[in-house]
Copies of this chain bind each other. A is one copy, B any other.
Amino acid sequence: MQVVLVSPRNPLNIGAAARAMANFGFSRLAVVAPYAPNWREARSAVGAPELLRNAREYATLAEAVAGCALVIGTGTVTHRKPEQPVVKLPVLAPEISRCLGRGGDVALVFGPEKRGLTRDDLSYCHLLVEIPTTPEQPSMNLGQAVAVCLYELATRAIETETAAAAGETAAGRSGEAAPQENPATSATLDLLAGVIDQVMTAADYSPPEMRAANRHDLRLLLRRLTLTERDGRRILRLFRRVLWRLRR
């Protein structure tokens, strides 16, 4: 499982998130579009854990989660109606176990301190996790939210740990296992969404002003379907064929 921080701002929060990862035995950190000076400061801080220096940097969330079959968004869902299933943190572990057990990689995504994940960020998520805070003070500090989530997953999900090891092994020797039956990666879904979008345009499916909204809904729809990698590839071939026909 990897932890993804989208545009983190405060170096202390970045450091705290990394430290919580080290505390609970997680090592893969990805950072999306960080504010460069603060990111440099956080990475070079005295006592910064190894995993912070090894963190991967991406320009977009889509790239950061491209290899993942289950992308989980975090944040408070009080002020907007969520567009995908919401799972409470104490029951998240089995969801992750299931994905890891099928050989898929998982990303847990945290938004920036002030505003959280945007609607566009969330459209890359298969589900949202809710930390059960009080209605009076629902919003958590970034470093503390990371600590609470990772504590929960490290402590409750003994199956996850085992499944994670098994999953990583299966992914490592993808020729031997049956990767076709693995859940579709975010990258495959994005490829598919791109081709379907072109098909919709080529078929004059919707007026130009509706296209951004349709693209958004399509991303969410594809994530709701829980396609296998094989399903994803099959549908991709179909739409490519359709597109070729439409353009003739």
Copies of this polypeptide in the complex: 2
Does A134 contact B19, Cβ atoms closer than 8 Å? no
Interface set, chain A 104-144, CB cutoff 8 A to B? 131-134, 136-141, 143-144
Does A131 contact B151, Cβ atoms closer than 8 Å? yes
Does A23 contact B140, Cβ atoms closer than 8 Å? yes
A172 at the binding interface (Cβ < 8 Å): no
Q: Per a CB cutoff under 8 Å, which of B90, B131, B137, B155 touches A22?
A: B137
Q: Report A16-40 CB contacts with B as 1/0, cut-off 8 Å.
A: 1001101111000000000000000
A147 at the binding interface (Cβ < 8 Å): yes
What are 22 residue pairs bridging A and B, where the CB atoms are less than 8 Å apart in the complex?
A: A16-B141, A16-B143, A19-B144, A20-B141, A22-B134, A23-B134, A23-B139, A23-B140, A23-B144, A24-B133, A25-B136, A49-B137, A90-B155, A90-B156, A131-B151, A140-B147, A141-B143, A141-B147, A143-B143, A144-B144, A147-B147, A151-B151
Complex: how many Å from CA A147 to CA B136?
A: 16
A242 at the binding interface (Cβ < 8 Å): no
Interface centre among A12, A16, A147, by most B CB within 10 Å? A147
Give the size of the chain A interface in residues (CB under 8 angstroms): 30
**Chain A, interface SS category:** helix
Q: How far is the CB of A26 from chain B (nearest CB, A)?
A: 9
| Extra pairs beyond A22-B134, A23-B137, A140-B147 (6, CB < 8 Å) | A19-B137, A22-B136, A22-B137, A90-B156, A132-B154, A143-B144
A152 at the binding interface (Cβ < 8 Å): yes
A residues sitting closer than 8 Å to B (CB atoms) are 12, 16, 19-20, 22-25, 49, 89-90, 131-134, 136-141, 143-144, 147-148, 151-152, 154-156
Complex: how many Å from CA A234 to CA B143?
A: 49
Does B155 contact A132, Cβ atoms closer than 8 Å? yes
Residues of B within 8 A of A19 (CB): 137, 140-141, 144
- Contact A134:B25 (CB < 8 A) given known A19-B144, A147-B147, A148-B148: yes
Residues of B within 8 A of A22 (CB): 134, 136-137
Looking across the interface, which residue of chain B has its beta carbon closest to that of A23?
A: B133
Complex: how many Å from CA A37 to CA B121?
A: 41
Does A20 contact B144, Cβ atoms closer than 8 Å? yes
